[in-house]
Homo-oligomer: A and B are copies of this chain.
Amino acid sequence: MNKTREQLEALATDLVQRDGLSSFSFRTLADQVGIKSASVHYHFPAKADLANALIEEYSEHFRGDLEAISQRPDSLRVKLESLIAIFEGVLAENKLCLCGALAAEASSLDETGQRLLRRYFDASVTWIEETLEAHPDQVRTPIPPPQLARVLFSGLEGALLLDRVGEDQEHLAAMRALVHSVTL
């Protein structure tokens, strides 16, 4: 049905994750999808609207992935490893987290976009926090869940950033070591 809009979003998401929001134009998108740039403006009046749509879609999708992990009857360690696996998958495609990429370019977003970004980070950290609190017996560190959750999520975002310019996946691997040491 709304195939064009979906194609545009998919393409734009990919490009943002690879090279950032300012690495492509409406013409880039139009050409690849096979329409004219004016038609892209029909779907997304301005570039900030496009960015906001991408953040919402990405957040929703990520939220779904996290819920899927929650549903499984795994140990805390396995759940956190599944979270890391998501980031490893992104890295395998030579991409960044969409929201991480946009956070570095936050001034190109409007107020709504920045709020959406904040909500994404908040939701992610909160999920980790709740996951930690759901398995209090499997946490093996004096760091309280709220702080540990923040260390884990910013660690993952940073590791993705560093591992992409680096040669191997040292940083995400180190995050695995951290998870291993703080879980039973």
Residue positions of A touching B, CB distance < 8 A = 18-20, 22-23, 96, 100-101, 103-108, 114, 117-118, 121-122, 141-144, 146-151, 153-159, 161-162, 164-167, 170-171, 173-175, 177-178, 181
A167 to B114, CA, bound (A): 11
Identical chains bound together, number: 2
Contact B18 A143 (CB under 8 A): no
Known contacts: A141-B181, A147-B174, A181-B143. The answer to whether A19 contacts B105 by CB under 8 A is yes
Secondary structure call for the A interface? helix
Complex Cα gap A151–B177 (Å): 9
CB contacts (< 8 Å) of A96 on chain B: these are 104
In-complex Cβ contact of A162 among B146, B157, B165, B174 (8 A):
B157
| Cβ contact of A151, chosen from B101, B105, B144, B178, cutoff 8 A | B178
Q: Which residues of the other chain, B, contact A19 by a CB distance below 8 angstroms?
A: 105-108
A100 with B161: CB separation less than 8 A: yes
Give chain B residues whose Cβ lies under 8 Å from the Cβ of A157.
Answer: 157-158, 161-162
| A158 interface neighbour in B142, B156, B167, Cβ under 8 Å | B156
Q: Is the CB of A171 within 8 A of B159?
A: no
List 9 A-B pairs, Cβ < 8 Å: A18-B107, A23-B108, A100-B161, A146-B174, A150-B162, A155-B155, A157-B162, A158-B159, A161-B161
